[in-house]
Amino acid sequence: MIKRPLIIDCDPGIDDAECLMMVQGSGQFDIRGITAVHGNVPLELTSKNALFLSKLYGMDCPVYKGAKEALIQRLTRAEYVHGSNGLIGFEYELPEDAEFAEGHAWDFIWEEAVKQNGELEILAIGPLTNLAIAVMKYPELPKLIKNLVIMGGSAGSGNFGVYSEYNIAQDPHACEIVLQAGFPNFTMVDWNACHMVHLTEEEWKPLLNLPETNKFAALAKRMLEFEVVNKAKLREEGTNIFPTGDDHYTCDPTAAAVLIDPEIAQYVEKYAFCDCVGEMTRGQTVIDWLGFAPLKNIKLPVAMDREKFVEMYFKCVKSYDREDC
């Protein structure tokens, strides 16, 4: 099987860690590189976490640093979900040989797109700043990207504002640039879609008891234990924005699942823009439901196969049981 060439643009972020686990665990991809971006925590941490995760999961690929800040906007970070270091305080030491690749994220994306000659896919699961800079610098880029899957935006309610989702709210201008850039195959896995899949308590409990040799084991345990504590705290404060119960909801892995097997979802094709200036709608990905606009620029998942997601998730987790992976 020829592996699909892929760049992952991310801001790890605990759900990025799960997402990377799935992408690598699926065995489908030739991961050409990881580009880190500011987001869940500052770039210094997201890039370091990305480097650590690439080594943990045995991805033999360069890791680039990208944008430190949004194009225009300045906002605070989501430490309440991701802990102070982005990996909910999970402590690790970088292997001695771990180092960042030289150069900028956006130049790497362009060079790789040219090299792959129309076959490159991109999974972007953080603010879209790196991608926006790449598009600004290389307007021909979209045409060379076979498939762009992002986790971001919302077609309904948000998780940052009334209508805005966190990744997009961090850099609405970047989102608008990317939406209008003309990517021919652009799937927006939005906050709504991320609510269509989850692991039930019964399903996620076994993740606490993975064999120690499994490379995802320690991180999974930390993530789920932190989540239980965090949810209890949010409930007590009355600020729990997650769906009820003890199910494990997670964002970025939903995008991984859509990338790995697009048939996991049903889609509608719509036109969307991102509001950058509204007092209350800033960061909203506004969907043209009725079709006022003459064009479409995104595919939006409107239904997801949860059972299939669970099956996929655990198949990926299991791939790390092997010592040699």
Partner 1 sequence: MLKKKPIIMDVDTGVDDTLALLLVAAADTLELKAITTVFGNCSLETTTENTLKICELLGLDVPVAAGAYRPVIDPPIDYSVAPMVDIHGRDGLGNVGNRLPAPTKQAEKMAAADLMAKAIKESEEKVTIVATAPLTNIATFLLAYPDLHEKVECIALMGGAAFGGNMGFSVEANIGHDPDAAKIVFMSDVPKYMFSLDATMGCFITDDERQAIADNGGKTGEFLKDCMQQYSDIYKALGGLPGAVLHDSLPVAWLLDESVVEFKHCYVDVELKGVKTRGCTVTDLVGYTGKSANTYVSMKADREKLINMHIEAAKKFN
- Footprint on this chain of partner 1 (rule: CB under 8 A): 156-158, 160-163, 241, 273, 275-282, 284, 286-292
Smallest distance, Å, CB 31 to partner 1?
Answer: 36
Pick 211 or 243: Cβ nearer partner 1: 243
Pick 229 or 241: Cβ nearer partner 1: 241
Smallest distance, Å, CB 30 to partner 1?
Answer: 38
Pick 26 or 284: Cβ nearer partner 1: 284
Pick 22 or 276: Cβ nearer partner 1: 276
Smallest distance, Å, CB 72 to partner 1?
Answer: 15
Pick 261 or 288: Cβ nearer partner 1: 288
Smallest distance, Å, CB 128 to partner 1?
Answer: 19
Q: Are 22 and 54 in contact (CB under 8 A)?
A: no
Smallest distance, Å, CB 77 to partner 1?
Answer: 17
The secondary structure of the chain in percent helix, strand, coil, rounded to multiples of 5, reads 40, 15, 45
Q: Which 3-state string (H, E, C) describes the chain? A: CCCEEEEEEECCCHHHHHHHHHHHHCCCEEEEEEEECCCCCCHHHHHHHHHHHHHHCCCCCCEEECCCCCCCCCCCCCHHHHCCCCCCCCCCCCCCCCCCCCCEHHHHHHHHHHHHCCCEEEEECCCCHHHHHHHHHCCCHHHHEEEEEEECCCCCCCCCCCCCCHHHHHCHHHHHHHHCCCCCCEEEECHHHHCCCCECHHHHHHHHHCCCCCCCHHHHHHHHHHHHHHHHHHHHHCCCCCCCCCCECCCHHHHHHHHHCHHHEEEEEECEEECCCCCCCCCCEEECCCCCCCCCCEEEEEEECHHHHHHHHHHHHHHCCCCCC
Smallest distance, Å, CB 186 to partner 1?
Answer: 17
CA distance 10 to 254: 14
Pick 42 or 161: Cβ nearer partner 1: 161
Pick 86 or 158: Cβ nearer partner 1: 158
Smallest distance, Å, CB 295 to partner 1?
Answer: 13
Phi then psi for residue 192, to 5 deg, are -60, -50
Smallest distance, Å, CB 288 to partner 1?
Answer: 5
Pick 160 or 226: Cβ nearer partner 1: 160
